[in-house]
Structure 1
Amino acid sequence: MKPVAILLAVALIGAAPVAPAAARQTAPAEYSVGPQYDTTHVYVAPEDFDRFVASLVATLGGTTSKQGVFQVTPTASQTISQLVLTPAGTISVFGFKTPIPYPFGSERTGYLVRDMDAAVAAALKAGAARLVTTFPDPIGRDVVLQWPGGVTMQFYWHTTKPNYAPLATIPENRVYLTPDAADRFVRSWLAYSKGKVTADDKAAPGSEIGQPGKTYRRIRLTSGYGKMVVLVSDGQVGWPYGRELTGYEVADLDQTLAKATAAGVETLIAAQTQSDRRSAIVRFPSGYIAEIHALARP
């Protein structure tokens, strides 16, 4: 190559735009699929199974998958299993016909992930620990993880990609923690989920969690896995607060509670106005306790 050509080539290379270092880096991976694939795990006695599912559909609407009996744990067991797909959230119902192997029953939710091995690696890096290492189930793979503060959940991955309709409203995973663990949990979960804090009220009315005359910290989070609220207090909450795993948003709370009552659902905490909603706590046949709310409209 002639000297002039070499100089021209060097000049062109030097003049080429160079992307900033941050732009050249790969964005952190995010493994969620969608909140319609994130399920609350509900364990019921086999004799209560059908009545519970019927009361859930009567209250929140929706459809169910085909009921069957499966082994869903890595050690020998048998459970009735059915998926309830409501417009306000998806519920996985288990009615074990055999003793429930440890630690199953302690996991509050099941989250569908795009890549099981990569998601687990990211969760461990963010501060989670495995209670049960990855294992096969009849339709995919699962793992049970525990986050700071003892928050336990299951990740799952399907061999055949499921296809559920989007939800009308996104349910709220309700996590009760003391100040000892709350910040560690929030940092850990957000580092994994790539979510964000949408609200952090450090003096929310304690009456919202059965502590009249006190205040507590309410942290609202959102991510590809849906909504989460972390309820931070001294832990001395009145019953049944802390027993509800999930909050379901509905358009009309009074109408929904009327449907619930007709279906045999007991109202434990009557509808009350809170900062951004009207909320009640109910107990379904079989003992499943849930929060149901309607957001305040502007």
Structure 2
Amino acid sequence: MFGKLPLTALRTFESAARLGGFKAASDELAVTPAAVSHQIKRLESQLGLLLFERNRQGVRLSDAGERLYLQVHQGLANLQQSLDDLQPPCDRQQLTLTTTAAFASAWLIPRLGDFHRRHADIQVRVLTGNEVVDLQREHRFDLALRAEFNPDPGLQRLPLLAEHFSVYTPPGWQPSANLPLSLIEVPWASVSGVVIDWARWCALAGCEDWLQRARFHHYDDEHHALQAAAAGYGLVLASNVLVADSVRQGLLQPWRAEVRLPAAQYSAVWLPGREREPALRAFLDWLAVTLGP
């Protein structure tokens, strides 16, 4: 039934499509770039279709190649999962997730010890970065914890936290017209184009005069900005998600908490079907308990 399937060519095609080039595929498969090119041409000849568009900069998937890639990648992923399911449980207890460094340090890591105590047999690898990982292509990731503005309909999700931005101060702080006003600035990144800055918050709060008399302190990292605010260097406009532990520890408190700039929805997202994997199922259950009442 499957005797004529060009399995080597399909595996080579999947690698080149996922990694974006023949050289990268040759490194992953431990063959020469010429061998990769030969397998791709063989597959194109069999199908009578061009799967890659060649140019001076390299190669990119054609429309037909994009369609084939999604099917081949999912098929190979299913085969890999079937093989993994046959392994003893002790060989499968590893979970790899991706999230931002800010979310990892401010929310996930302080809570992760509880998961380790409950599931000592599961190793959790946390890889951080600001780029949104394509879970369809990066099969090594089991899960992503991300701020979503436009949810991907091709992924399953567990809603975690609704994000908004408010002003936070050290405990006991009160505004005074006679004292200098220090405001901490940090570039809050948003793929949606939503503006999160002091000018927008001040306009909403009716505090436009702050912008004229304030001294601004600039930080390029959210975690450092929160530390500076807790140390008394100024007020910070911060995410309720990332500041939660600082508030719980009494280091910061919200000021005029009713004035909020809406932002994203934090969610755990994964490829459909992977929730059946024991390690991921345990982690999702733990997240649900952690966020419960």
Verify same fold: TM over 0.5.
no
TM-score, reference length from structure 1: 0.23
More strand by share: 1
More helix by share: 2
Greater RCO, CA 8 A, separation 6+ = 2
